[in-house]
């Protein structure tokens, strides 16, 4: 596209002087990105009416209703909840559908965990009802403690403690001469998403995997336990999915396509995201006898938890039997989809979702977010009843089957992939919400926009903008660089998104610009995925007055209303390009550090440093030397980044230029700009996806293959370096560089429109 290149030179000359003015204007006062001055005033009036409609009593009432009984996917009450919400949306004036998918959802038939020796012990695997927690006694409907998508199995073996069970823990075991092959591992929750633990254990030859909640991470070490306090008590356990979601989320039998009635399904034996070995989560009361029975070396300092025992690694003498059988049925998942059709640009869809299924009663996860969404939707509906109509189409979604692996959202996205690719301009996700600080994650092109929203919503406790409270948090808790930035940079940076909630299919499979929003940090506790995540728990410890439920409705309501109403989609590229610069520096530094680490390790091996220090009374296996890491050619990435940063600069300069003054912004020009902008996030995807996981198409963000929820930015490059795969790293640098080049070209197209140029 040579015409674009020469244009850029012209623009650079013409607009350089305007740059500072333009940026200053963006942050000045109360400007709203994408709106004219007059439009912004109208919008503010609309938002004031929206705010006035919000009622905290609704949140309380709906939470009580929706969490009154267990409502996991496939449960009777889950279906009732879906129908109840569909009725609400309808009553508020939305076009509503309940979309059904049939998804693999195993539930336990047999769960046995026994310590066979030296002493005998049978794990209880049950959470008792608690007085003062009204729903904790609904044992008939509660799902038992288990990990979904564990395979069936009946295994017996010596036990080995593997800390968090992540790859580096196995390296540590190897240095101590401990092999888990043919053994059963016990890992504690934390340090990674839970599904990584059985995956890595199986890679190392373990027969089975037990995951327990250590009180150090999730129990009395953190605070008083339930019901005295909010934290996990000794019988509490964490349910959860262990499917290999970094490969692909959603129904394990229908990767890439919707799990509709007639969908072609994989044979279960061939489903790659099921675990390779049986897995069971347990409480710390059940873990204590197992850990106490372990012998062998004492675990490294950082591996030790808060149980009153000396943590040993094993293997043995503890021997355990783990027997699991599941009912491998298909269950119906019910997504509630409510639509408010846009007036001027109905083909641009602004989508807002939260899941409705829970592991048990799920007052916090997910109902706390769900009820804020409902109240937001009610208020938007009320506005629409007064004759107002959004420019763009608004879609509210209540997803089912998020808990087992984002099934409701993923199957819907896969089913509607083609139309979503054409129409979706934004997806806004929420999930659990509580008292505290606004956390903002998402596409970095939305940084400026969401900062304006967070600037305009007041914290209910502190009466300062929620953005300023979040900023203060970073000033107090960040490192020196984060502190400096929080003070000096007008916008707070968005967190990059990994996985763990329903944004994943939108962002990482389709390339829809996405936000994930929520409050928290003062709602600590350990009810997560237990029967104690209840209305009683939430209204004591989560957000007793639903102040932050209302605050979330205000944040997300503004997000939706502004995106639905803006003259042009309020994306920005300056913060994005700046953050991308960070990521590029991170991966280059990672390569340097990894090279230095390998060199240092090899030097220590050569110098016999390990042998000199090792205690001869303890087992020691000298590490093996590794081929030195080469210097990688980062130039393509750095050049592409430089071009992208220049494109971003020119776009923002053009926005402040003479060709985009309010009088010059015709509806047609705005629409053409929108057409370009809505494709920008998709430009960051690649049809082939990431190496070895084609479902994940985004080149900037992915959940880590060995971290799960934790994000890897520039994942193709970063994970190749982490895996010491230098050839792949070199290839992926080029792939990402090409992606950035395409992106720069798209931004240049937008700039051309704004500056009145061709197209």
Contact footprint for a second copy (CB under 8 A):
215, 220-225, 229, 231, 298, 304, 306-310, 436, 461-462, 464, 468-469, 472-473, 475-477, 522, 604, 607, 609-613, 615-617
Cβ closer to a second copy: 388 or 610? 610
In the complex, what is the shortest distance from the CB of residue 292 to a second copy, in angstroms, rounded to a whole number?
A: 10
d(CA 159, CA 313): 8
Answer whether 598's CB lies under 8 Å from 703's CB: no
d(CA 434, CA 101): 30
In the complex, what is the shortest distance from the CB of residue 31 to a second copy, in angstroms, rounded to a whole number?
A: 24
Output the DSSP codes for 373-429. HHHHHHHHHHHHHTT---SEEEEEEEES--TTTSHHHHHHHHHTHHHHHHHEEEEEE
For residue 154, list its beta bridge partners. Answer: 323
In the complex, what is the shortest distance from the CB of residue 167 to a second copy, in angstroms, rounded to a whole number?
A: 21
Indicate left, alpha or beta for 140 from its phi (over 0: left) and psi (-120 to 50: alpha): alpha
In the complex, what is the shortest distance from the CB of residue 479 to a second copy, in angstroms, rounded to a whole number?
A: 13
Cβ closer to a second copy: 307 or 517? 307
Cβ closer to a second copy: 83 or 593? 593
> Angle of helix 635-655 relative to helix 2-15, nearest 10 degrees?
60
In the complex, what is the shortest distance from the CB of residue 264 to a second copy, in angstroms, rounded to a whole number?
A: 51
Cβ closer to a second copy: 75 or 233? 233
Cβ closer to a second copy: 107 or 524? 524
| Whether the bond into 366 is cis, omega within 30 of 0 | yes
Cβ closer to a second copy: 612 or 627? 612
Cβ closer to a second copy: 231 or 701? 231
Question: Residue 701 corresponds to which tokens in the numbers above?
Answer: 């963000």
Q: How far is CA 543 from CA 63, 129, 205, 453, in A?
A: 12, 23, 44, 22
Question: Residue 93 corresponds to which tokens in the numbers above?
Answer: 């004036």
In the complex, what is the shortest distance from the CB of residue 210 to a second copy, in angstroms, rounded to a whole number?
A: 20
Question: Residue 353 corresponds to which tokens in the numbers above?
Answer: 């979702």
End-to-end CA distance of the chain: 12
Cβ closer to a second copy: 616 or 628? 616
The 3-state DSSP class for residue 464 equals coil
Cβ closer to a second copy: 347 or 611? 611
Calculate the CA dihedral of residues 113, 118, 119, 120 and round it to 10 degrees.
30
In the complex, what is the shortest distance from the CB of residue 601 to a second copy, in angstroms, rounded to a whole number?
A: 11
Would you call 745 exposed, middle or buried from its count of C-beta atoms within 10 A (0-12, 13-18, 19+)?
Answer: middle
In the complex, what is the shortest distance from the CB of residue 483 to a second copy, in angstroms, rounded to a whole number?
A: 8
Cβ closer to a second copy: 219 or 342? 219
The beta strands (E) that lie in 132-278 are given as 147-148, 153-161, 184-188, 208-212, 240-241
Cβ closer to a second copy: 104 or 299? 299
CA dihedral (448, 449, 452, 454) positive or negative: negative
d(CA 72, CA 147): 13
SS (H, E, C) 246-290: CCCCCCCCCCCCCCCCCCCCCCHHHCCCCCCCCEEEECHHHHHHH
In the complex, what is the shortest distance from the CB of residue 307 to a second copy, in angstroms, rounded to a whole number?
A: 7
In the complex, what is the shortest distance from the CB of residue 582 to a second copy, in angstroms, rounded to a whole number?
A: 23
Cβ closer to a second copy: 111 or 312? 312
Q: How many CB atoms lie within 10 A of CB 515?
A: 26
For residue 519, list its beta bridge partners. Answer: 438
Q: Where are the alpha helices (DSSP H) in 524-569?
A: 535-537, 547-565
In the complex, what is the shortest distance from the CB of residue 438 to a second copy, in angstroms, rounded to a whole number?
A: 12
Cβ closer to a second copy: 7 or 307? 307
In the complex, what is the shortest distance from the CB of residue 584 to a second copy, in angstroms, rounded to a whole number?
A: 24
In the complex, what is the shortest distance from the CB of residue 233 to a second copy, in angstroms, rounded to a whole number?
A: 11
In the complex, what is the shortest distance from the CB of residue 428 to a second copy, in angstroms, rounded to a whole number?
A: 26
- Residue 404 makes CB contacts below 8 A (sequence gap 6+) with 73, 103, 105, 148, 149, 241, 243
- Looking only at the bridges linking them, the beta strands covering 436-442 and 514-521 are antiparallel
Cβ closer to a second copy: 214 or 414? 214
CA 438, 439, 442: angle at the middle one, nearest 5? Answer: 135
In the complex, what is the shortest distance from the CB of residue 214 to a second copy, in angstroms, rounded to a whole number?
A: 12
The 3-state DSSP class for residue 345 equals strand
Answer whether 105's CB lies under 8 Å from 401's CB: yes
d(CA 634, CA 350): 37
In the complex, what is the shortest distance from the CB of residue 311 to a second copy, in angstroms, rounded to a whole number?
A: 8
Cβ closer to a second copy: 222 or 698? 222
Residue carrying the six token digits 């092109």: 445
In the complex, what is the shortest distance from the CB of residue 537 to a second copy, in angstroms, rounded to a whole number?
A: 16
In the complex, what is the shortest distance from the CB of residue 190 to a second copy, in angstroms, rounded to a whole number?
A: 14
Answer whether 526's CB lies under 8 Å from 212's CB: no
d(CA 320, CA 332): 36
Cβ closer to a second copy: 388 or 473? 473
Cβ closer to a second copy: 119 or 607? 607
d(CA 277, CA 425): 41
d(CA 553, CA 460): 12
Cβ closer to a second copy: 288 or 496? 288
d(CA 442, CA 494): 6
């Amino acid at each position: 596209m040579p015409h674009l290149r020469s244009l850029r030179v012209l623009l650079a000359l013409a607009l350089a002087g305007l740059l500072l003015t333009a940026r200053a204007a963006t942050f000045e006062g109360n400007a709203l990105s994408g709106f004219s001055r007059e439009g912004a005033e109208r919008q503010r009036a609309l938002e004031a009416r929206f705010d006035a409609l919000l009622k905290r009593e609704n949140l309380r009432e709906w939470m009580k209703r929706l969490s009154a009984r267990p409502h996991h996917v496939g449960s009777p009450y889950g279906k009732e909840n879906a129908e109840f919400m569909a009725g609400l949306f309808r009553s508020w004036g939305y076009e509503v559908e309940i979309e059904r998918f049939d998804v693999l959802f195993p539930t336990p038939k047999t769960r046995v965990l026994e310590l066979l020796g030296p002493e005998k012990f049978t794990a209880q695997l049950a959470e008792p009802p608690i007085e003062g927690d009204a729903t904790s006694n609904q044992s008939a409907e509660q799902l038992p403690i288990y990990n979904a998508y564990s395979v069936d199995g009946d295994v017996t073996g010596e036990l080995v403690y593997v800390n968090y069970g992540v790859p580096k823990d196995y390296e540590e075991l190897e240095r101590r001469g401990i092999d888990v092959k043919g053994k059963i591992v016990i890992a504690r929750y934390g340090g990674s998403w839970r599904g990584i633990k059985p995956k890595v254990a199986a890679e190392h030859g373990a027969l089975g995997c037990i995951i327990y909640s250590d009180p150090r991470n999730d129990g009395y070490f953190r605070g008083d336990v339930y019901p005295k306090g909010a934290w996990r008590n000794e019988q509490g356990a964490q349910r959860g999915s262990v499917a290999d979601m970094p490969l692909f989320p959603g129904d394990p039998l229908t990767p890439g396509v919707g799990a509709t009635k007639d969908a072609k399904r994989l044979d279960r034996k061939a489903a790659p995201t099921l675990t390779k070995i049986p897995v069971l989560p347990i409480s710390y009361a059940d873990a204590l006898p197992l850990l106490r029975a372990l012998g062998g070396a004492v675990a490294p300092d950082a591996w030790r938890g808060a149980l009153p025992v000396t943590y040993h690694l094993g293997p043995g003498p503890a021997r355990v039997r783990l027997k699991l059988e599941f009912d491998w049925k298909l269950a119906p998942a019910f997504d509630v989809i409510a639509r408010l059709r846009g007036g001027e640009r109905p083909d641009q869809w602004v989508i807002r979702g939260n899941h409705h299924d829970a592991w048990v009663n799920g007052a916090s996860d997910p109902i706390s977010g769900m009820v804020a969404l409902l109240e937001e939707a009610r208020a938007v509906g009320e506005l629409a009843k007064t004759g107002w109509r959004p420019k763009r189409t608004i879609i509210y979604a209540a997803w089912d089957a998020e808990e087992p692996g984002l099934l409701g959202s993923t199957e819907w996205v896969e089913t509607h992939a083609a139309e979503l690719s054409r129409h979706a301009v934004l997806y806004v996700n929420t999930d659990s919400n509580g008292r505290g600080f606004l956390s903002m994650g998402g596409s970095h092109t939305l940084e400026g926009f969401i900062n304006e929203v967070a600037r305009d919503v007041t914290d209910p406790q502190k009466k300062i903008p929620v953005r300023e409270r979040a900023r203060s948090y970073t000033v107090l808790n960040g490192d020196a660089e984060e502190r400096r930035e929080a003070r000096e940079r007008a916008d707070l940076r968005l967190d990059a998104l990994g996985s763990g909630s329903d944004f994943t299919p939108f962002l990482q499979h389709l390339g829809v610009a996405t936000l994930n929003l929520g409050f928290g940090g003062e709602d600590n506790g350990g009810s997560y995925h237990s029967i104690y995540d209840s209305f009683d728990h939430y209204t004591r410890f989560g957000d007793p007055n639903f102040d932050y439920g209302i605050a979330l409705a205000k944040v997300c309501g503004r997000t939706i209303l502004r995106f639905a109403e803006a003259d042009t989609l309020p994306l920005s590229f300056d913060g994005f390009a700046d953050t991308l610069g960070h990521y590029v520096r991170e991966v280059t530094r990672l390569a340097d550090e990894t090279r230095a680490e390998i060199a240092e390790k090899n030097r220590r091996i050569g110098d016999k440093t390990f042998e000199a220090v090792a205690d001869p009374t303890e087992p020691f296996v000298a590490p093996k030397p590794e081929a030195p890491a080469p210097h990688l050619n980062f130039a393509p990435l750095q050049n592409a980044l430089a071009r992208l940063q220049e494109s971003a600069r020119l776009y923002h300069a053009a926005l402040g230029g003479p060709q985009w003054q309010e009088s010059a912004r015709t509806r047609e020009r705005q629409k053409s700009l929108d057409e370009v902008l809505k494709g920008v996030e998709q430009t960051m995807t690649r049809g082939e996806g990431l190496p070895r996981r084609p479902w994940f198409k985004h080149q900037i963000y992915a959940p880590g293959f060995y971290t799960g929820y934790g994000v890897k930015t520039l994942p193709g490059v970063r994970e190749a370096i982490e895996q010491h795969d230098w050839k792949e790293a070199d290839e992926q640098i080029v792939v990402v560089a090409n992606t950035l080049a395409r992106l720069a070209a798209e931004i240049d197209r937008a700039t051309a429109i704004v500056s009145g140029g061709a197209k």
